[in-house]
Amino acid sequence: MHYIALLVVALVMLVPFLWMIVTSLQSPETLVKFPPDLILTSPKFSNYSEVFRDLTIGTFFFNSIKISLLGTLGELLAASLAAFAFARMEFRGKKILFAVLLSTMMIPFQVTMIPVYIIMKWLGWLDSHASLIIPHFFGGAFASGAFGVFLLRQFFESIPRELEDASRIDGASRFRFFTTILLPLSKPALAVLALFVFMGIWNDLLSPVLFLSSEEKMPLTFGLAILQTVQHNFRYDLLMAGTLISIVPILIVYIISQRFVTNAFLRTGVKG
Amino acid sequence: MRSRSALWYILPIFIGLSVFTVGPVVASLILSFTHYGISETPTFIGTANYVELLRSSLFWQVLGNTLYYVLLYVPASIVVSLALALLIEKKIRGIAIFRTIYFLPVVTSMVAGAIIWSWLYNSDIGLLNYILSLLGITGPKWLQDPHWALPAIAIMSIWKNAGYNMMIFLAGLSTIPKDYHEAARLDGARSWYRFLYVTLPLLSPVTFFVLAVTTIGAFQVFEQTFVMTNGGPGTSTLTLSYYIWQTAFKFFDLGSASALGYLFFVLIVIVTALQFLIRRKWVVQQ
């Protein structure tokens, strides 16, 4: 009985994905058939090569990879440096700064987006990937880095202080301890954070919409959204193929690290 | 041990915080009192933006749409998430697979979800209306129908996000001591009563957290309308978040959009404060 309920819900969750796959293999003729064929008689795999050839999906894909990887790198750097200071050093205004940092997570983007846009204009970063990558080296244009500082600070605090004392006695500088001992020890926490940040950037629509205008610069989210909204009688077969391509990297990463993510989620999610 | 070198470690985050958050929060308050087109210099006009907004009927309609969406989405999504959590709480064989499946929409981008559902919602040849027709129901025109477009977005969003709160509820459920259920069982309480009188009260702090966060998120609905409806048909799905974006970057009225942003901010703060105020009435303190 319990299994039946589980299966029914699983079906509801999966049907949109399955229908995306089925649609992505339709031909223009079978696409508009009603009632629709639930089983494909002749799947059209060439849709996928057509998407890459005609819809600049390849460019979107490359942009997404570039922005997400570099952005993740930047946010991890900025967050781990700050988290180290918050976990292990004493300095004036530390408590206040940390409180301000955490409270930025609650400020809605609607309040800051206009000045942020103007700043990007001043910096000359509009319609360039700089606007989507460089802010992450400073904790993100919309305060996404605060979560990383929070997560890593907790992890760093769990690492025994004696370890740092020992390495200092051996003559290592604090920065050396940070790079050669603390960071390698923190691989699990860094991996989880990297995953969250990567997903966040990969799936983000707002920043690209705000800062980009030319199609060849767009990541998948923006590119697909444009394809969806601009043309109303668009070929849904190709659009679904493109959408599937945009989901696959995240799905692979998620399924591989599923246990990892779930645990991290259970630990950090409740505290928020 | 005080240290100067700490400065170097926090410098990047500090710069980012000042330039991208604290500065803009202040700047946007100032801009809200100006007339500011995108390539002009801002001129001070006092509270004119606010007065104009509060007088415009479109603003109130957009506010109404937003509140309607929050009311459609928040209660339903919390009930669904809790139901999912209860469903996968049981430690039976293969449960991890179901948990993974229920979480799949969460890791998928909102854009992808919105595109897929736009296709499902297609009123002529969409899968959803086909399934409904098999059940003898004539489906509405969903995204083309002013009465159904916002509920359609809410349904899609529940599918997309339910797995997230499910995980939080699951964590909450795992902290409820088994003894409580055992004691209630020995007293002869049936499972439905145990849920009402043991699970729900003990879970209420988690439910409060979920409610507060989900409400803030619902007020901010943007990507769904951006991809699925652009605020239409008519203005039926024009919500505050999208309206602010539109005012700023389609109509290039940055002053008015800043004022809208601040009204929006105040609205969220008020709603969240209200939730904290009535917290005592229903959240059980342990």
Q: Concatenate the DSSP letters of all residues of B244-260 into one string.
A: HHHHHHTS-BHHHHHHH
* Bridge partners for B44 per DSSP: B34
Residue B286, pLDDT score: 62
Q: Is B113 on the interface with A (CB under 8 A)?
A: yes
Q: What does the pLDDT average to over B213-240?
A: 94
Interface test with chain A among B111, B165, B243, by most A beta carbons within 10 Å: B111
For the cut 70, the answer to whether the pLDDT of residue A50 exceeds it is yes
For the cut 90, the answer to whether the pLDDT of residue B251 exceeds it is yes
Q: Is B143 on the interface with A (CB under 8 A)?
A: no
Residue A44, pLDDT score: 87
Q: What is the mean pLDDT of chain A?
A: 89
Share of chain A above pLDDT 90, in %: 61
pLDDT tens by residue, A109-149? 999 999 999 999 999 999 999 999 999 999 999 988 999 99
Q: Is B87 on the interface with A (CB under 8 A)?
A: yes
Q: What does the pLDDT average to over B192-208?
A: 91
Q: Answer whether B275's CB lies under 8 Å from B211's CB.
A: yes
Tokens of B121: 């919602």
Q: What does the pLDDT average to over B216-221?
A: 96
A194: Cα separation from own chain's centroid: 9
For chain A, the domains span 66-220
Among B104, B227, B265, select the one facing A13 at the smallest CB separation. Answer: B104
Residue A270, pLDDT score: 41
Q: How far apart are CA B101 and CA B94, in angstroms?
A: 11
User: Cis omega (within 30 of 0) on the bond before A35?
Assistant: yes
* Bridge partners for B253 per DSSP: B37
For the cut 50, the answer to whether the pLDDT of residue A272 exceeds it is no
Size of the A and B interface in Cβ pairs below 8 Å: 272
pLDDT tens by residue, B71-97? 999 999 999 999 999 999 988 888 989
For chain B, the domains span 55-237+270-282
Give me the CATH code for the B55-237+270-282 domain, please.
1.10.3720.10
Q: Which position has the higher pLDDT, A138 or A173?
A: A138
pLDDT tens by residue, A193-245? 998 899 999 999 999 999 999 999 999 999 999 988 776 556 888 899 999 99
A240: Cα separation from own chain's centroid: 21
Q: Is B105 on the interface with A (CB under 8 A)?
A: yes
Q: How far apart are CA B171 and CA A230, in angstroms?
A: 42
Class level of CATH domain A66-220: mainly alpha
Residue A232, pLDDT score: 53
* Bridge partners for A90 per DSSP: B2
**A207: closest chain B residue by CA:** B223
pLDDT tens by residue, B111-158? 999 999 999 999 888 999 999 999 999 999 999 999 999 999 999 999
pLDDT tens by residue, A77-109? 999 999 999 999 999 899 999 999 999 988 999
The label of the residue with tokens 């709160």 reads B165
Q: How far apart are CA A156 and CA A88, in angstroms?
A: 8
Q: What is the mean pLDDT of chain B?
A: 93
Whether B115 and A243 lie within 8 Å, measured CB to CB: yes
Q: Which residues of B touch A225 (CB under 8 A)?
A: 111, 114-115, 226-227
Closest CA of chain B from A62, distance in Å: 17
Indicate if the alpha-carbon torsion angle A210, A212, A214, A217 is positive or negative: negative
Closest CA of chain A from B179, distance in Å: 22
Q: Answer whether A143's CB lies under 8 Å from B21's CB.
A: yes
Whether B24 and A119 lie within 8 Å, measured CB to CB: yes
Q: Is B135 on the interface with A (CB under 8 A)?
A: no
Q: Which position has the higher pLDDT, A260 or A124?
A: A124
Determine the angle formed by the axes of helices B254-277 and B200-219, rounding to 10 degrees.
170
Integer angstrom CA distances of residue A59 from A246, B116, B237: 12, 21, 32
Q: How far apart are CA B73 and CA B88, in angstroms?
A: 22
**Chain B window 189-248: which residues touch A at a Cβ cutoff of 8 Å?**
206, 209, 213, 216, 219-220, 222-223, 226-227, 230, 240-241, 244-245, 248
Indicate if the alpha-carbon torsion angle B63, A141, A253, A58 is positive or negative: positive
For the cut 60, the answer to whether the pLDDT of residue A31 exceeds it is yes
Residue B160, pLDDT score: 97
Q: How far apart are CA A84 and CA A70, in angstroms?
A: 21
